[in-house]
Structure 1
């Protein structure tokens, strides 16, 4: 696929090559309206300044970028640990970029980050968020491989590598366990659908609820603790009694929910059981300890980093032979890591003789 040039931008916008060059370089003599028109055309054409292209060809490919979506989620701590384990820090530089600061996804931030990654000669990307299709296409145009973790690749790039969890099957396992406790009223507090892992989690819980004759309410909130607390408060205010069980979609939502339950003196699990997605360091230190669906994010990170490194090394080998350095994606670059349900007191297991604590694994 041909890469865009200044002349292409000049042709599309009608401005001279000189004016386009000044606008892209931040020079004087170009009105703000003209500059914005030129920059917009450059973005749409996938243009990256020539000096970056020259450096990209000359530089050693030794940096990897990890795109996260709210670093307040403990999931990313274990993910990064797995990535660092797989990449020798003396050989590889790992850069982290968050496109959902405080849980609020920002499309312009994603666009700016992708542009900077190309300009900074990034060798590859591990993304925990389904990127905008145009950004996946732009990275492909510049031969920068992408491995998706947690979230899936966009439909237009379904062949891109991914290391994920089978969230549907894992949620069926959660639902099965809730049914064993006899819970019939389930509340799922969940983040927006921008995070694609939501779909599998919700569909699995819906299927489990239908199968076991339970009532499931899906309550969407912004992806941060404060919003989760406020959303849950409004919902509980409209009910006569709490649901039998609260299922928190991730760590930030769990934190917001726990703050509210403590404030309202709602006892766990006596008044309402609690289950959450994603393991975190202090899950066994609460009273009672929290039952979680552990995605094993460290293993996901380790596999993703090894996969990306292998793809980059194959690119370098192709370049040495004078061949195009386009990344080659293989069927084995689609992997799923089994999830484990870690049974602890918050789901009510401790009330059944203590012998129910343990773990179960989903394929």
Structure 2
């Protein structure tokens, strides 16, 4: 079996240089690095990770704990984490906490017992046990997607990476209000998650900016999953004055809301307009095509790795929160025409409702026509 010394002879460098290339412990000139990698490939050398970890106390592995890995959004995050980790010579161990605080604590402990160098975790709605464990064992950790802002003055602080939630949700509401809607419903996420509270805040800000009153009956929790969103949508449609437009707060709830609307014999956008938070691969294939806020999933995953590696390199620096911007993807489920993004028709008022649209325009970037030109 070839050794590190064999690789060094093959590449014409020292054993120390081979070690720096394979372990990432010191910058190496590009041509020297490539010579080492070529020698590794030619000789079939396999690095002894276990032996290295005994010497360095590092395994060059990252633990990733995210729920609903099958969700397209978290799948994109996973792809971003994996690519960035591999680029920096790190392996990935993955666990699904199932958004259950007790299970979350167990899987994080299992990852820790496997001696990962650090963790990237999307916390549950009640992460107190999780955070206490991570703080007690001083595990370098980046919290992903869901931020923790208020755990008390003496609570441990962690690096955090997430998307903007408040402003993009406000924009969806403003867009629907600009099309003439006066009763805009929100299918909200799981209570206790920061993403839920921030998107509800954005919904309220959007109403306020449009001069519309807040009606608490128009905000119904969908619990961040399809079935819950179906029940929430049915409850909204059963109101004496149901909404003429809906905002759904994640991609799974969008599916549930669409299913419920179909079961109620309602057509989108002819009977009710819909905008959603979370774009996904097949949103463009629906009829109508879904107007959405797109989160930068892969970039969030890659940024989480970068922040974690910075934490490993400088353990004493102050924790920070990084928020990445989202994109407004303008399609047709909001009631806009495919050709120019303007309102296709007046809002349909139901019996006993006022609020017919004046068909005033609400200019938006990235309309369908704009995308074709680009």
* TM-score by shorter chain over 0.5: yes
1:345 aligns with 2:339: no
Asked if the contact 1:184/1:213 (under 8 Å) is kept, the reply is no
The structural deviation recorded for 1:267 is 1.0
Shift of 1:141: 3.0
Whether the 8 Å contact between 1:159 and 1:329 is mirrored in structure 2 is no
Partner of 1:281: 281
The alpha carbon displacement at 1:358 in A equals: 5.0
Of 137, 147, 155, 2:150 maps to 155
User: Quick one: structure 1 residues 269 and 242, their matched pair in 2 at CA, closer, same or farther if it must change by over 3 Å?
Assistant: farther
CA contact (8 A) 1:73 1:250 kept: no
Partner of 1:126: 120
Q: CA deviation at 1:351?
A: 6.5
Deviation at 1:111, TM superposition (A): 1.8
Q: Distance in 2 between matches of 1:241 and 1:89?
A: 54
Number of corresponding residues: 288
The residue that corresponds to 1:328 in the other structure is 316
CA displacement at 1:334 relative to structure 2: 2.2
d(CA) in 1 for partners of 2:149, 2:60: 26
Distance in 2, Cα, partners of 1:129 & 1:279: 22
Q: Which has the larger radius of gyration?
A: 2
Q: 1:152 to 1:163 in 2, by over 3 A?
A: same
Corresponding residue SS for 1:261: helix
Task: Describe the shift of the 1:158–1:166 C-alpha distance in structure 2 as closer, same or farther (beyond 3 A).
Answer: farther
Q: Is the 8 A contact 2:93 2:111 kept in 1?
A: no
| TM-score, L = length of structure 1 | 0.72
Identify the residue that residue 102 of structure 2 maps to in structure 1.
108
The whole-number CA distance in structure 2 between the counterparts of 1:210 and 1:112 is 43
Who is 2:309 aligned against?
A: 309
Equivalent residue for 1:219? 220
Write the deviation string for residues 257-299 of structure 1: whole angstroms up to 9, x where unpaired. Answer: 1112223331111111111111211111111110111121211
Q: Does 1:230 align with 2:231?
A: yes
Summarize the alignment of residues 116-265 of structure 1 with structure 2, pairs less than 5 Å apart: 116-129=110-123, 132-153=127-148, 155-156=150-151, 157=155, 159-214=157-212, 215-216=214-215, 217-236=218-237, 238-240=238-240, 242-265=242-265
Cα distance in 2 for residues equivalent to 1:243 and 1:352: 26
CA drift at 1:57? 9.0
The structural deviation recorded for 1:211 is 2.9
Structure 2: distance between partners of 1:80 and 1:187: 31
> Structure 2 residue aligned with 1:66, among 64, 67, 70?
64
Other structure's SS at 2:337 match? helix
Q: Does structure 1 retain, via aligned residues, the 8 Å contact 2:105–2:129?
A: no
CA deviations 1:203-254 (Å, max 9, x no partner) are 1111221332335511012332122213322432x23564111111101111
1:357 to 1:212, Cα distance in 2 relative to 1, 3 A: closer
Q: In 2, distance between residues paired with 1:154 and 1:118? A: 24
**SS of equivalent residue, structure 1 residue 155:** coil
Taking the aligned partners of 1:143 and 1:56, their CA distance within structure 2 comes to 19
Q: State the match for 2:353 in structure 1.
A: none
Alpha-carbon contact 1:83-1:298 (below 8 Å) kept:
yes
TM-score of the pair, normalised by structure 2:
0.70
- For 1:25, the equivalent position in structure 2 comes to none
Change in Cα spacing, 1:358 to 1:126, as seen in structure 2 (3 Å) is same
Cα distance in 2 for residues equivalent to 1:348 and 1:169: 21
**CA gap 1:154/1:95 in 2 versus in 1, 3 angstroms:** farther
> Equivalent residue for 1:266?
266
1 CA distance for matches of 2:70 and 2:299? 20
Contiguous gaps of at least 5 residues in structure 1: 1-54, 315-326
Q: Aligned partners of 2:189 and 2:341: how far apart in 1?
A: 32
